[in-house]
């Protein structure tokens, strides 16, 4: 059935696998995507939403590179919000509420239109490894498919175990079976594996809810979108979410079920995502809080199913039901699906290189939840990077790595492979030391050209990015050249409580004052005219505003990043013998031996490696 040898086989069509397959195939590699159920491509296992704080930036980065997550998020969105708009632009984060079924369908349509990509539905039960090299996969029916590289993106499916109260059963997600075989094969060749846990709330029938008792949460009045491309448009209509609260009474009912909770009776042994705690965890940890927020999120345009965000639980279904019936607006609630928790195998990511290729087996890559992360966006970007690097390796080209000052994707991968993770890793803006550089508005400036150069981003994307860059930079220059007289500026300054001008000044300087907005500046002669004459769109105008308002911070961060990158250029030979460096602490030597950092900069980020150890290492590297 499979006579040819593929360049790349991707195991699993979740968020990581779908992006991996898209990237590898779009870069010209013959690619096979094998997944357990072709109906569930890029299925959203948990909340029907993409983006949010730091995650929205990742989706923009994927899109800027030519991945599909941004496009599909736009085409399947039912609500758009730019979060943190009241803070500086480094914090702005786009988020959409998604139509869950349409999301999966649109992903499948995108993939089916991708050249070089074949599909096959079955479980991969084993990996074919010869002389420390991956050469293919074995399916549960016993088929062998040969390939030059394999990307494992098994998500929560490896030996998945679902818990609801005192019941537990095998599964990779509710209604889907677990995947077996791969973990054993990997452990047999020397990989270290661990267990993690995550959970999800019940889904309910929207017709049984009383929304008049909740607070409406509409989308943005002027919605934006994720994709930089012209393939999608902002939403013309949106669906609202609603907010309600738990109460003391709800907490008491939940507590009644604690003795049957797998979280508390020791049945669940692994660690879950700290920042996405279950409702029982919240009640337990924040015992002084009388109520917790719940967001009531529609699952799509046409379905009545509703997702109860904030009520993730693995308590027995009768306890879940009784407690939810005590929440305002949920008095007559009917369940579609109970909440549950799941435990699954993951592989500590310190076993990977920056390319996401494993250190142990040549041509074998891991991406997504299998690496100990949580979240669709975190998974998707790893998939894209693994797909790119697998394709480049097959083409015998140089690897593609993003630095920490270039992308959240770079921060995520560097954190994972350098520090590892003991609990599900989620992206936050605070993880990035250069967040003023890594904004959602400039992901195209940062990444589109790089992606174009390796053969992924299209020429249209490249042209669009260049036009935005050229026009917004020209506008900045115009504001630097253009002067405004006090008679024109002072009424505006007075309105904004900003001190009046005594003599003419450049518009750029006036605009740099914190109180002054683009709307104010547009009232000065020569500004709006420039926008109209040069046909600047909203994105270009917004870009200009950011360049003016934050130029000082941006410059400062660029300088800091340049300094750090000097260490990035000091490479450490592979298999460098740390045990011979006696002037380095024992802990540092052990950690360095384990992680095998590629550069001195990466070495400096390993916990337990001190600045003193780095100075010693620099001497050994001839610096
Ligand atoms: P998945 O989306 O899990 O996809 C894996 C794919 O691989 C599936 O299509 C599966 O069929 C396929 N597959 C697996 N093994 C094989 C095999 N051997 N052969 C063939 N195909 C295979 N994230 C959050 O950010 N917050 C949350 O609160 C949260 N809660 C969650 C709750 C639950 C119950 C679950 C299941 C997930 C939750 N997640 C949460 C995680 C989120 O769903 C994942 O991070 C994301 O989906 C990971 O993407 P992935 O591509 O790595 O894997």
Kindly provide the ipTM of the predicted complex, given to two decimals. 0.98
Residue 23 has, within 13 A of its CA and on its CB side, a CA count of: 33
Question: How would residue 607 be classed by pLDDT, with cut points 50, 70 and 90?
Answer: confident
Judge if the beta carbon of residue 202 lies within 6 A of ligand 1. no
> Do residues 196 and 344 lie in contact, with contact meaning Cβ atoms separated by under 8 Å?
yes
Q: Please, what is the average pLDDT of the chain?
A: 95
Judge if the beta carbon of residue 240 lies within 6 A of ligand 1. no
Residue 564 has pLDDT above 80, yes or no: no
Q: Which atom of ligand 1 is nearest to the CA of 37?
A: 11
Q: Which of 370, 380, 463 is nearest to 67 (CA)?
A: 380
Measured in angstroms, how far is the CA atom of residue 571 from the centroid of ligand 1?
35
For CA atoms 261, 267, 269, 270, give the dihedral sign: negative
Question: Coil, helix or strand for 507?
Answer: helix
Measured in angstroms, how far is the CA atom of residue 156 from the centroid of ligand 1?
5
Judge if the beta carbon of residue 123 lies within 6 A of ligand 1. yes
Greater model confidence, 304 or 265: 304
**Which of the listed residues 33, 48, 51, 154 should we mutate to test ligand 1's pocket, taking the one with most ligand atoms within 8 A of CB?**
154
Residue 557 has pLDDT above 90, yes or no: no
> Do residues 106 and 75 lie in contact, with contact meaning Cβ atoms separated by under 8 Å?
yes
Measured in angstroms, how far is the CA atom of residue 154 from the centroid of ligand 1?
7
- Express each pLDDT in 437-466 by its tens digit: 999 999 999 999 999 999 999 999 999 999
Residue 65 has pLDDT above 80, yes or no: yes
Cα distance between residue 64 and residue 461, in whole Å: 8
pLDDT of residue 575: 84
For ligand 1, atom 3, which residue shows the shortest CA distance?
155
pLDDT of residue 611: 76
Judge if the beta carbon of residue 14 lies within 6 A of ligand 1. yes
Cα distance between residue 511 and residue 111, in whole Å: 45
Cα distance between residue 615 and residue 623, in whole Å: 9
pLDDT of residue 464: 97
Residue 55 has pLDDT above 90, yes or no: yes
pTM of this structure: 0.93
- In this structure, of 134-138, 228-232, 369-373, 433-437, the range with the lowest mean pLDDT score is 433-437
**Which of the listed residues 14, 136, 340 should we mutate to test ligand 1's pocket, taking the one with most ligand atoms within 8 A of CB?**
14
Measured in angstroms, how far is the CA atom of residue 78 from the centroid of ligand 1?
22
Judge if the beta carbon of residue 604 lies within 6 A of ligand 1. no
Which whole number is the average pLDDT over 182-199?
A: 97
Judge if the beta carbon of residue 154 lies within 6 A of ligand 1. yes
Residue 587 has pLDDT above 90, yes or no: no
């Amino acid at each position: 059935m499979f006579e040819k040898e593929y360049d790349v086989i991707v195991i699993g069509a979740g968020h990581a696998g779908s992006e991996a397959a898209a990237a590898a195939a779009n870069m010209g590699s013959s690619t096979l995507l094998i997944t357990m159920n072709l109906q569930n491509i890029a299925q959203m296992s948990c909340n029907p939403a993409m983006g949010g704080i730091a995650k929205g930036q990742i989706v923009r980065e994927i899109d800027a590179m030519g991945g599909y997550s941004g496009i599909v998020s736009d085409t399947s969105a039912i609500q758009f919000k730019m979060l943190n708009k009241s803070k500086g632009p480094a914090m702005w984060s786009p988020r959409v509420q998604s139509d869950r079924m349409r999301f999966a369908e649109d992903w499948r349509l995108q993939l089916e239109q991708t050249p070089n990509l074949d599909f096959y539905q079955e479980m991969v039960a084993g990996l074919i490894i010869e002389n420390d090299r991956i050469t293919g996969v074995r399916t549960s029916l016993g088929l062998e498919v040969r390939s030059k590289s394999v990307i494992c993106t098994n998500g929560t499916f490896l030996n998945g175990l679902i818990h609801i109260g005192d019941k537990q059963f095998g599964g990779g997600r509710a209604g889907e079976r677990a995947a077996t075989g791969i973990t054993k094969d990997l452990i047999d060749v020397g990989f270290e594996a661990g267990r993690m846990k995550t959970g999800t709330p019940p889904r309910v029938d929207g017709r049984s809810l009383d929304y008049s008792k909740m607070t409406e949460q509409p989308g943005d009045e002027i919605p934006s979108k994720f994709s930089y491309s012209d393939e999608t448009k902002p939403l013309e209509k949106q669906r609202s979410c609603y907010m309600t609260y738990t109460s003391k009474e709800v907490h008491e009912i939940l507590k009644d079920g604690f003795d049957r909770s797998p979280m508390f009776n020791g049945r669940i042994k692994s660690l879950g995502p700290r920042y996405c705690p279950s409702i029982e965890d919240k009640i337990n940890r924040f015992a002084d809080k009388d109520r917790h927020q719940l967001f009531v999120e529609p699952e799509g345009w046409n379905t009545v199913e509703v997702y109860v965000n904030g009520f993730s639980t693995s308590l027995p279904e009768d306890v879940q039901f009784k407690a939810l019936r005590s929440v305002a607006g949920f008095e007559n609630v009917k369940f579609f699906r109970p909440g549950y928790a799941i435990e699954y195998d993951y592989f500590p990511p310190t076993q990977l290189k920056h390319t996401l290729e494993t250190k142990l087996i040549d041509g074998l890559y891991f991406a997504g939840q299998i690496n100990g992360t949580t979240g669709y966006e975190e998974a998707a970007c790893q998939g894209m990077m693994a797909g790119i690097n697998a394709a480049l390796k097959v083409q015998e080209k140089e690897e593609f790595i993003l630095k920490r000052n270039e992308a959240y994707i770079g921060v995520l991968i560097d954190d994972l492979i350098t520090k590892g993770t003991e609990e599900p890793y989620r992206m936050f803006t605070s993880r990035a030391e250069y967040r003023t550089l890594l904004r959602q508005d400039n992901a195209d400036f940062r990444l589109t050209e790089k992606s174009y150069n390796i053969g992924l981003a299209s020429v249209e994307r490249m042209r669009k990015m260049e036009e935005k860059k050229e026009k917004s930079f020209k506008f900045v220059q115009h504001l630097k050249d253009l002067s405004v007289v006090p008679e024109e500026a002072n009424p505006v300054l007075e309105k904004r409580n900003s001190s009046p001008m005594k003599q003419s000044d450049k518009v750029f300087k006036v605009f740099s004052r914190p109180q002054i907005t683009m709307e104010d500046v547009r009232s000065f002669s020569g500004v709006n005219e420039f926008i109209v004459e040069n046909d600047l769109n909203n994105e270009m105008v917004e870009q200009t505003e950011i360049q003016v308002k934050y130029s000082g911070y941006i410059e400062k961060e660029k300088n800091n990043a340049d300094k750090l990158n000097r260490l990035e250029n000091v490479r450490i030979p592979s298999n460098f013998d740390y045990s011979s460096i006696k002037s380095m602490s024992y802990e540092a030597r052990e950690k360095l031996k384990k992680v095998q950092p590629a550069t001195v900069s990466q070495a400096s980020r390993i916990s337990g490696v001190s600045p003193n150890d780095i100075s010693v290492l620099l001497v050994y590297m001839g610096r």
